[in-house]
Amino acid sequence: MPALNTVGHSTPRIDAVERVTGRAKYTNDVQLPGMLYAKVLRSPHPHARIRSIDTTRAQALPGVKAILTHETTPVVWGAGGIAGGQQYNDEVKKITKHRRYAFNNPVRFVGEPVAAVAAENRHIAEEALRLIAVDYEILPFVLEPEAALESDAPKIWPEGNIAVNNRNEPLPITQKRGDAHAAFATAPHVFEDRYSTSFVHNAQMEPRSAVAHWDGDKLTLYTPTGGISNCQHDMARDLGIADEKVRVVCHYMGGNFGNKNQNQDGDLITAMLAKAAGAPVKLEFSRKDDFIGMHGRWPTVQYYKVAVDNDGTLQAVQLRGYSGMGPYRKNSGAIGGIELYRCPNVDHVVTPVYTNRTVSANFRGPEFPQGFFGIQSMMDDVAYKLNMDPVEFGVKNMSRMFRDEVPFTNFTLEECIRRGAELFDWTQRWRPLPGADAGPIKRGAGFTYMLFRSGLGMSSAVVQVDANAKYTLFVGVTDVGAGAKTTMGLIAAEALGVPLSQVTVVWGDTDRCPYSVGESGSRTTIMTGYAVMEAVRDLKQQLAEKGMPTGSQTLVAKASPNPRLEGKVRNAFGAHFVEVEVDTELGHVRLTKYVAVHDSGRIMNPLTATSQILGAATMGVGMALHENLVYDQKSGQPLSAGFYYDRIPTHLDAPTVEVSFVENDDGYGAYGAKSIGESGIILSPGAINNAIFNAIGKRLKDLPITRDKVLGALA
């Protein structure tokens, strides 16, 4: 892979100075003249019908300018509940029966919006919420997906609690090949087990906020979104106005981590309050609002059955999985992982289930950290039971073609695993006999591997040059923290053959930027990056024909390529190796070594790419060991809403992560770039769990692996 001039060299972010001086303006930093402040009243009940809402006392409070409820504002939030959970499909949003409104009646989870107030300042808005009297008829509720499928479970929707697919049918997600049933009957070894994962909140540092103002019939919305284009379209559809009547602006955003490439109910509520009050409105979520009113990773229960030959060759894998979606299907609820293995017989049935918990949605590698924790723990266990080294079992059984059928554009999974094992010193650190260390502090090593989508798709870019050879790149990215703005600048500079300093990037404003696919699915570098290359190609052609512009003239080129892969699948690959130290008296798990190897294609900017892996692996530590939105089973109340009680990782929890990239250029995407942002978190929970098993000889099966569970397993 020949080196490039600009791409591939570690480069500090083009906006790094703004980020370290406090000059970067986030949504809540926007201050407009005459702006009001908004707060949302939320349901204290997991399931209740609203008999009446009395807002008279709140209306009478001096300084209150507008109040909205489900009675005044029956607006459908299209992205809030989608049959089948397909996020970017307008047709499905139209036919969805289990619809979510900005304000719903009945309310179906603690934290669901009931009313919103705009007032002269946030203190008056808070006070007004206390003056709204809501008469609730309490309904029975159900919190766990398996309980919700019992015949006597309270029905969250009239049709029952199986989340409907894109034809409004209550059917599970299935994948079958071969005959797993027959294989289980004849295989020499059959293993069964159950794993579960918890609801993990995005918990981005920036609590949700939005600022809306109307200029006549045109809405300007400042909001933390990873996709200004999709957010704009969602707002226009939900409000029943044309796309061009909505301007969405997001220049800086305090973390994404999933399900933000769209609009949110808070955006709709803010826009409607601004309309009702005739003034700009800023909505501010408290941290608790954010935790219970937004979304997080869907919790799962996974029942595996695995058949293996005497030589350790996988014969069959069966999964019966259940995903807790909350009361609306925002996204798929799938459980990934079956695609990791070459296997002739697969029987995979996952049922997304409605529950009266906070809504689940896409969170960094949506269905994979849950599923990979389950299947990679299961397979690790199978390897030990067959007296095999888990690394050798993995290499022997890993997929070499997508679903054993379609070839990959390139395949480096084995190289990632081998390099990781070497950097980690697997043969020295792994204990052939788990739990063999003497004394109360025991060490152990574990690993997992992954593959993850890196497909192609449509996005756009515009590039312009003026008479002074100043290049301006217009891209609809918002830079959620991954460094997209800088990456797009690097790609443009490389394609133009000019230094990065000669390229100005314009971003984060639908009035100034073309459509972008949005920062979700680890797609921006691949898709928008490729659009940048195509726009530059066009510009260079124009320059060759017309020469440099003169005077006040400019040359402009736009590209909206939609590249396709024929007969191939494009994936990123990776392997993580973890060593832990388990205190068997206290149940404490400490990470003592962490090696992450990734094939994310050609790395555009090693500095920011490495940060992605470091951060995602650390986020995975939280999922593995700490995080869980705990509910009180009797009252249906969330108990751990907030950073402290949810225990997201701190400086003291973060492992030192060694990152290594297996670089290559398969000829697709921007200079061969593949996905990266989500990869890191997919691997860590399984690797940590496998290391714990190696240390203590006991298999933990339920996330998060808190101290009480470690001690329970050892008891």
Q: Tokens at residue 75, please? A: 């607006």
- CB under 8 Å to 439, separation ≥6 — which residues? none
What kind and span of H or E run contains 174? strand 173-177
CA 626 to mean position of chain CA atoms: 18
**Cα-based distances in Å from 102 to 217, 242, 431:** 21, 19, 54
Judged by beta carbon, residue 413 or residue 681, the one nearer other proteins is 681
**Cα-based distances in Å from 18 to 15, 190, 224, 503:** 5, 58, 17, 17
Between residue 261 and residue 300, which ones bind other proteins under the rule CB under 8 A? 286-288
In angstroms, what is the minimal distance from the CB of 128 to other proteins?
14
Contact 102, 263 (CB under 8 A): no
Helix (H, G, I), strand (E, B) or coil at 189: strand
End-to-end CA distance of the chain: 54
DSSP 483-551: -HHHHHHHHHHHHHTS-GGGEEEEESBTTTS-----S-TT-HHHHHHHHHHHHHHHHHHHHHHH-S--T
Q: Tokens at residue 500, please? A: 């990065």
In angstroms, what is the minimal distance from the CB of 316 to other proteins?
37
Q: Does 328 bind other proteins (CB under 8 A)?
A: no
- Residues in contact with other proteins, shown as a per-residue x/- string from 145 to 184 under the rule CB under 8 A: ----------------------------------------
Helix (H, G, I), strand (E, B) or coil at 714: helix
In angstroms, what is the minimal distance from the CB of 443 to other proteins?
12
Among 637, 665, 711, 714, binds other proteins (CB under 8 A): 637
Which stretch, 192-200, 348-356, 535-543, 636-644, contacts other proteins (CB under 8 A)?
636-644
Residue 50 and residue 135: Cα distance in Å, rounded?
6
Judged by beta carbon, residue 218 or residue 287, the one nearer other proteins is 287
Q: Does 252 bind other proteins (CB under 8 A)?
A: yes
Among 6, 7, 8, 28, binds other proteins (CB under 8 A): 28
Helix (H, G, I), strand (E, B) or coil at 556: strand
Among 79, 173, 465, 641, binds other proteins (CB under 8 A): 641
Q: Does 210 bind other proteins (CB under 8 A)?
A: no
44 class by beta-carbon count within 10 Å (0-12 exposed, 13-18 middle, 19+ buried): middle
Judged by beta carbon, residue 31 or residue 562, the one nearer other proteins is 31
Among 188, 635, 667, 712, binds other proteins (CB under 8 A): 635
Which stretch, 82-90, 452-460, 549-557, 634-642, contacts other proteins (CB under 8 A)?
634-642
- Residues in contact with other proteins, shown as a per-residue x/- string from 554 to 593 under the rule CB under 8 A: --------------------------------------xx
Q: Does 251 bind other proteins (CB under 8 A)?
A: no
DSSP 640-670: --SHHHHT---TTTPPPEEEEE-----S-TT
In angstroms, what is the minimal distance from the CB of 561 to other proteins?
28
Between residue 84 and residue 123, which ones bind other proteins under the rule CB under 8 A? 120-121, 123
Among 205, 469, 548, 586, binds other proteins (CB under 8 A): 205
Between residue 29 and residue 58, which ones bind other proteins under the rule CB under 8 A? 29, 31, 44-45
In angstroms, what is the minimal distance from the CB of 16 to other proteins?
4
In angstroms, what is the minimal distance from the CB of 651 to other proteins?
4
The rounded radius of gyration (Å) of the Cα atoms in the chain is 26
Among 231, 492, 619, 696, binds other proteins (CB under 8 A): 619
AA identity, residue 184: F
Residue 411 and residue 568: Cα distance in Å, rounded?
12
Judged by beta carbon, residue 141 or residue 668, the one nearer other proteins is 141
Which stretch, 13-21, 297-305, 307-315, 387-395, contacts other proteins (CB under 8 A)?
13-21
Residue 557 and residue 542: Cα distance in Å, rounded?
8
Contact 360, 323 (CB under 8 A): yes
Q: Does 16 bind other proteins (CB under 8 A)?
A: yes
Residue 95 and residue 90: Cα distance in Å, rounded?
9
Which stretch, 11-19, 169-177, 302-310, 536-544, contacts other proteins (CB under 8 A)?
11-19
Contact 573, 682 (CB under 8 A): no
Judged by beta carbon, residue 277 or residue 609, the one nearer other proteins is 609
Judged by beta carbon, residue 21 or residue 552, the one nearer other proteins is 21
Residue 564 and residue 581: Cα distance in Å, rounded?
46
Residues in a beta bridge with 657: 594
Judged by beta carbon, residue 62 or residue 551, the one nearer other proteins is 62
Which stretch, 64-72, 80-88, 457-465, 479-487, contacts other proteins (CB under 8 A)?
479-487
Q: Does 615 bind other proteins (CB under 8 A)?
A: yes
Among 1, 5, 23, 554, binds other proteins (CB under 8 A): 23
Q: Which of 111, 112, 133, 138 is nearest to 49 (CA)?
A: 138
Instruction: Number of residues interacting with other proteins: please give it, by CB under 8 A.
Output: 78
Among 151, 438, 550, 651, binds other proteins (CB under 8 A): 651
In angstroms, what is the minimal distance from the CB of 491 to other proteins?
18
Helix (H, G, I), strand (E, B) or coil at 414: helix
Among 4, 9, 25, 395, binds other proteins (CB under 8 A): 25
Among 640, 675, 679, 694, binds other proteins (CB under 8 A): 640
Residue 347 and residue 338: Cα distance in Å, rounded?
9
